[in-house]
């Protein structure tokens, strides 16, 4: 699938920030990666990844993560934990 140019306007997946639940897995169209919702601070959403990365993004840049993207997030967490075991 060809990547869309940034100038393409995508319809918001959520009608308002309150429609996004804390703990849900959401895909950030700007970072192009899934994350878990930590906090809803309208209109911004705070997200995190299992690696410890956290960021804030406007809710209009988000969409629900697909099943594959949810599995990807779980796999990243598993890999991160495995790599951390070998460190002092």
pLDDT in the model for residue 66: 96
pLDDT computed for residue 22 by the predictor: 97
Q: What's the pLDDT at 1? A: 55
Query: Phi first, then psi: what are they for 70, rounded to 5°?
Result: -65, -45
> What does the DSSP assignment read for 22-78?
TT-EEEETTTTEEEEEEEEETTEEEEE-TTS-EEEEEGGGEEEPPHHHHHHHHHHHH
Q: How far is 86 from 16, CA to CA, in rounded Å? A: 43
pLDDT, position 5:
57
Q: What is the pTM of this model?
A: 0.82
For the chain, which residues score pLDDT lower than 70? 1-8, 88
């Amino acid at each position: 699938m060809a990547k869309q140019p940034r100038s393409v306007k995508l319809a918001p997946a959520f009608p308002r920030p309150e429609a996004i639940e804390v703990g849900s897995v959401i895909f950030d169209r700007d970072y192009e990666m899934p994350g878990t919702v930590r906090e809803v601070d309208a209109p911004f959403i705070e997200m995190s990844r299992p690696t410890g990365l956290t960021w804030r993004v406007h809710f209009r840049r988000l969409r629900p993560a697909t099943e594959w993207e949810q599995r990807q997030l779980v796999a990243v967490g598993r890999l991160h934990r495995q790599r951390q075991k070998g460190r002092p």
